[in-house]
Amino acid sequence: MYAPERQQEILRLARDGGRVDVVSLAEEFQVTAETIRRDLKALDRAGLLRRVHGGAIPAGRLDFEPDLAERETTAADEKDRIAKAALAELPADGTVILDAGSTLARLAAALPPETSLTVVTHSLPVAARLADHPGIQLHLVGGRVRHRTRAAVDAWALRAYGEIRADVAFVAANGFSAEHGLTTPDLAEAAVKRAAVAAARRVVLLADSSKHGQEHFARFGGLGDVDLLITDSGLSPEDTAALARGGTEVVRA
Amino acid sequence: MYAPERQQEILRLARDGGRVDVVSLAEEFQVTAETIRRDLKALDRAGLLRRVHGGAIPAGRLDFEPDLAERETTAADEKDRIAKAALAELPADGTVILDAGSTLARLAAALPPETSLTVVTHSLPVAARLADHPGIQLHLVGGRVRHRTRAAVDAWALRAYGEIRADVAFVAANGFSAEHGLTTPDLAEAAVKRAAVAAARRVVLLADSSKHGQEHFARFGGLGDVDLLITDSGLSPEDTAALARGGTEVVRA
DNA sequence: ACCGGTCATGCCCGTTCATGCCCGGTCGTG
DNA sequence: CACGACCGGGCATGAACGGGCATGACCGGT
């Protein structure tokens, strides 16, 4: 196994599990701890991991509350399936907007290498994953970066989205329902999402079923703005039907 | 079998198996390892494969940039010392601009946790390192992202820098000399650096001594624009004195 | 058919890389 | 505050690398 392969795998393990430790990695890959330390150092220098005594934690973590880590990994499966399903909605050779959020980050990671696209995003983790994808023309939307979500917000971001027109926007929401629309806890972030939605001809909402019925502080649109919702099978058939009656197509991955 | 045929086949094998190695390819095709290396180099240059020690991996399979880590190992020591020395130039509680480049990334990683600063950058790696630094208000400059440097360039970036005013800009250059000023290989990137330099009251150039005397395609300023140069001890005392005569203070870390 | 030029390949050899081992220093936990 | 785990630098080693050169095949023009 080559060093970069091992490092890639370490990175994956770190992201999945929220942490890795030197000794078990050494065992896992059948190399000495020194080698693992070197790998971790390289990944740390590349800004992908944060080194800690005894191991490392992923640097790009969107959500680093320890108690949420477990829930995060259990939802990982749904999010991966949703991201996979979203691939089918990519235009053949056009422009897409990718919102911030862990599902979007997974979508970015899942883009096949032969993809040819123009991508616009205000999410740092999404940008980091796409920056070296050879087929992708990446445009970064600037702005003040919120620590919690690592997404750019405020004036620069709003203006940038106001100046472009994309084929599809893939957006995430912390809560969605027919009654209360699309909501998220932060006002500034909601404003950016609204601008992103307005900049696209077609809007695809990626949200696992646990988000359904939730409502948060800031609303950035109604379900009527959403052309397609991709969620998981946890959404009940009745809810699905209700949403479909509202004009939103629903895919349950 | 012709070389392009062989390369095509190597590419297919790499994509099928996820990896190839020099020795078995040499055996497989009944040629020497040198020939295979040349093939792999060609495919790497074409962006179809990623070369690793001992073989190659299909492009896009790794979602990080080994190139970045690799470049960091060159003159890593000097760069670390330069970054450390640059810490002394940070304002107590003001606004700084951080350019793209491995030395700047080191600087970002070396910021003490208790630092309180506003940071503006158009570099993705720098932003990734600072995004979760609690004391830092991070402002991301958007734009088209260049694959090679992971830095934002073009209209959005230029306009953003045109709208701000910072206490200090820390910039990097691929080449610097009293005669030819500050140069870099890419025009778009040079334009952004120029804008960053213009947006700051004080300009600090971080460049290891191997950059001295080099000149590249695009010039973004003269040494007269630089208030302070931080470099390593590889810069000869005569060169140091010559630069100092030009009005640029020099620190050799 | 001849001939200079280019290209692909092979061979040689000094250099670099990845890894393992060792040892003195540091961390953090009890 | 003491001890064990962890860290990082230094060194050794074998594999891989890559630049330079030679050889022979092919090509295009005369």
CB B86 within 8 A of CB B170: yes
Of all residues in chain A, the percent with pLDDT exceeding 90 is: 70
What's the confidence (pLDDT) of residue A90? Answer: 96
Chain B CB contacts of A109 under 8 Å are: 63
Question: Are B50 and A7 within 8 A, CB to CB?
Answer: no
What's the confidence (pLDDT) of residue A59? Answer: 74
What's the confidence (pLDDT) of residue A97? Answer: 98
* Beta-carbon contacts of residue B208 (< 8 Å; ≥ 6 apart): B75, B78, B79, B82, B103, B231, B232, B234
CA of A53 to C1' of C28 (A): 9
Domain annotation covers residue A85: yes
Kindly report the backbone phi and psi dihedral angles of residue A201, in degrees, each rounded to the nearest multiple of 5, phi listed first: -75, -30
Same domain, A142 and A208: yes
Tell me which of B22, B37, B63 is where a domain ends.
B63
Identify the band that residue A129 occupies on the pLDDT scale cut at 50, 70 and 90: confident
Tell me which of B63, B87, B105 is where a domain ends.
B63
Residues near strand C (C-beta below 7 A) are: A 1-3, 6, 30-32, 34-35, 38-39, 53; B 1-3, 6, 30-32, 34-35, 38-39, 52-53, 73
Query: Domain holding A8: CATH number?
Result: 1.10.10.10
Total count of domains within chain A = 2
Domain annotation covers residue A65: no
Same domain, A242 and A132: yes
Question: Are A47 and B105 within 8 A, CB to CB?
Answer: yes
Same domain, B123 and B36: no
Same domain, B92 and B165: yes
pLDDT at B198 over 90: yes
pLDDT at B71 over 80: no
Question: Are B55 and A2 within 8 A, CB to CB?
Answer: yes
Q: Which two tokens stand for residue B37?
A: 């290396």
Same domain, B53 and B152: no
Question: Are B69 and A45 within 8 A, CB to CB?
Answer: yes
pLDDT at A253 over 60: yes
* Beta-carbon contacts of residue A43 (< 8 Å; ≥ 6 apart): A7, A10, A11, A49, A56, B64, B69
Provide the number of CB pairs (under 8 Å) joining chain A to chain B: 142
For B131, the closest chain A residue by CA position comes to A147
CB A182 within 8 A of CB A222: yes
Same domain, B24 and B138: no
pLDDT at A61 over 60: no
Same domain, B90 and B204: yes
Identify the band that residue A112 occupies on the pLDDT scale cut at 50, 70 and 90: confident
Same domain, A76 and A33: no
pLDDT at A67 over 50: no
Of all residues in chain A, the percent with pLDDT exceeding 70 is: 94
In this predicted model, what pLDDT tens digit does every residue of B92-101 receive, in sequence order? 889 999 999 8
Same domain, B30 and B75: no
Query: Domain holding A122: CATH number?
Result: 3.40.50.1360
In this predicted model, what pLDDT tens digit does every residue of A177-228 receive, in sequence order? 999 999 999 999 999 999 999 999 999 999 999 999 999 999 999 999 999 9
Please state which of the ranges A40-49, A117-126, B225-234 shows the lowest mean pLDDT: A40-49
- When CB atoms are compared, the residue of B57, B127, B157 closest to A145 is B127
CA of B38 to C1' of C7 (A): 13
Same domain, B75 and B190: yes
pLDDT at B129 over 60: yes
Domain that holds residue B12: 3-63
Averaged over B17-37, what is the pLDDT? 93
pLDDT at B66 over 60: no
Chain B CB contacts of A137 under 8 Å are: 144
Q: Identify which has the larger pLDDT, B214 or B76.
A: B214
In this predicted model, what pLDDT tens digit does every residue of B5-26 receive, in sequence order? 999 999 999 999 989 999 999 9
Same domain, A114 and A77: yes
Name the residue type at position B71. Answer: R
Average pLDDT, chain A: 89
Domain annotation covers residue A64: no
For A42, the closest chain B residue by CA position comes to B69
* Beta-carbon contacts of residue B59 (< 8 Å; ≥ 6 apart): A113, A134, B47, B48, B49, B50
Domain annotation covers residue A67: no
Q: How far is A227 from chain B (nearest CA, A)?
A: 28
Q: How far is B181 from chain A (nearest CA, A)?
A: 29
- When CB atoms are compared, the residue of A8, A59, A134 closest to B47 is A134
pLDDT at A66 over 80: no
Average pLDDT, chain B: 89
* Beta-carbon contacts of residue A213 (< 8 Å; ≥ 6 apart): A175, A177
Same domain, A225 and A116: yes
